[in-house]
Every structure is written in structure tokens, then in C-alpha cells.
């Protein structure tokens, strides 16, 4: 085995520069490609961690199709709400993320899209990420079934982006276990932000 290695080294040493590159690529290309893939994955991970926007409040907009709101108005609504809240993660800016989910939760015929949207909604509710919900009456009843509602009231002071839609504001119930751990302070501020927006929208 040692003789084979020595012979391979000697042959490699005798090759010209271009031939050496071709030799290395021929015998080690998969190692090169694997290493490159790992480096790219590390770079992308670091980039996402550095540039990712962490919202100070996440809002779920839940409504049936007749209460659809355009993506543009959802963005405007998020920007408008962001001016009214505190910086929960101390990154020097206030950001509100609104996650819209518009579908009929009780359709006559259940298709794959409805199943997928319902499953996504259940995951969002279980995760506890959203501390505020803006919903129509149908989804208000659904939320009450999950027993996660702390406060709810009709929106009587709506911004112009949703002024023609009968909606409710709902503050998520935050449990004692949510106030523990390294994200406890941020959770408290997010919950306070949800209550601030709730009072503004409902005049409650």
C-alpha cells in the first residue's frame, strides 16, 4: 500500500500544472463538491441569521373569501400597526408581521387546498407565535374552540385598509409557561403590543 502511495505521489509530481488540476478533479471532485456544498450551506445559514427580520408582533388575519384583503393592503396595515408598538427584541426597529389566511373553514366539499390551509392554521395556533388575531365572525368561533382567547371585541376603529369589513380583534391568551425561559421578556412585550393594538382597534 505504501509503495502504491509513493508511486502515485511520484506520478503526480511529474505532471504539468494543467494535468495536475485535471488529475485532482478526476479523483477528488466529489470531495470538492461536498466541501463546497457544506461551505455554501454555512454561508447561507449565517446570512439568514444576520439578515432575518424578527417581528415585534405577529398578527394572524383570518377570514372567509368574501373578506379578502390584498397583499398590498396587508403590508400597509403592518406598517401602520408597527408605528404603534414597542421594540420587543431590542433591534432598534418596530416590525409587525401579518400572516393572512383567507379560506372557507366549512366548505361544502373539502379539497386538498382547504386541508393544507387548515393544517397550516392549526400549526400556527399551536406554535403561539401570533399574539393578536384579526378575524371575521366565523374564525372567531373557531378560535374560541381552541380556548386561546384572552380578549376579543368588534373592531370599531378600523384603519382604512379594513374599514369595510366586519372584523374582530382577538388577543391570545398567554400562559405562565410562555413567560419562562430566555424569550420570556420578548413574549411579555409582544403580548403588551397585542393589547395596545387591541385597545386602539376596538376602543375597548
pLDDT, tens only, 132-164: 999 999 999 888 888 889 999 999 999 888 988
Residue 50 pLDDT: 47
Which residues, 6 or more positions from 85, have their beta carbon under 8 angstroms from its beta carbon? 56, 57, 94, 96, 193, 196, 197
Q: Say how far apart CA 15 and CA 81 lie, in whole Å.
A: 67
**Calculated CA dihedral for residues 76, 99, 151, 164, nearest 10 degrees:** 50
Q: Say how far apart CA 73 and CA 78 lie, in whole Å.
A: 8
Residue 198 pLDDT: 96
Residue 41 pLDDT: 63
Least confident of 25-34, 59-68, 118-127: 25-34
**Calculated CA dihedral for residues 146, 150, 153, 158, nearest 10 degrees:** -100
Residue 63 pLDDT: 93
Residue 92 pLDDT: 85
- Confirm whether pTM is higher than 0.85: no
| Domain locations in the chain as residue ranges | 2-51, 57-202
Architecture in CATH of 57-202: 3-Layer(aba) Sandwich (3.40)
Q: Three cell numbers at 55? A: 417581528
Which residues, 6 or more positions from 171, have their beta carbon under 8 angstroms from its beta carbon? 131, 132, 149, 150, 151, 152, 191, 194, 195, 198
pLDDT tens digit sequence for 39-95: 776 665 554 444 456 788 999 999 999 998 999 999 999 999 999 898 887 888 899
Q: 168, 176, 160: which is closest to 61 by C-alpha?
A: 168
Amino acid at each position: 500500500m505504501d509503495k502504491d502511495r509513493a508511486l502515485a505521489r511520484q506520478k503526480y509530481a511529474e505532471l504539468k500544472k494543467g494535468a495536475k488540476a485535471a488529475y485532482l478533479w478526476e479523483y477528488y471532485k466529489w470531495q470538492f463538491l461536498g466541501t463546497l456544498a457544506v461551505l455554501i450551506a454555512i454561508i447561507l445559514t449565517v446570512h439568514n441569521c444576520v439578515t432575518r427580520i424578527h417581528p415585534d408582533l405577529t398578527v394572524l388575519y383570518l377570514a372567509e373569501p368574501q373578506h379578502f384583503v390584498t397583499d398590498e393592503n396587508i403590508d400597509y396595515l403592518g406598517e401602520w400597526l408597527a408605528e404603534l408598538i414597542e421594540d420587543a427584541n431590542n433591534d432598534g426597529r418596530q416590525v409587525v408581521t401579518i400572516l393572512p389566511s383567507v379560506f372557507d373553514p366549512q366548505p361544502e366539499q373539502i379539497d386538498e387546498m382547504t386541508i393544507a390551509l387548515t393544517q397550516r392554521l392549526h400549526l400556527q395556533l399551536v406554535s403561539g407565535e401570533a399574539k393578536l388575531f384579526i378575524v371575521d365572525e366565523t374564525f372567531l368561533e373557531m378560535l374560541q374552540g381552541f380556548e386561546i382567547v384572552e380578549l376579543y371585541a368588534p373592531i370599531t376603529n378600523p384603519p382604512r385598509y379594513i374599514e369595510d369589513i366586519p372584523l374582530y380583534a382577538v388577543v391570545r391568551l398567554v400562559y405562565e409557561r410562555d413567560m419562562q425561559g430566555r424569550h420570556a421578556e420578548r413574549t411579555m412585550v409582544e403580548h403588551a403590543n397585542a393589547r395596545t393594538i387591541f385597545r386602539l382597534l376596538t376602543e375597548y
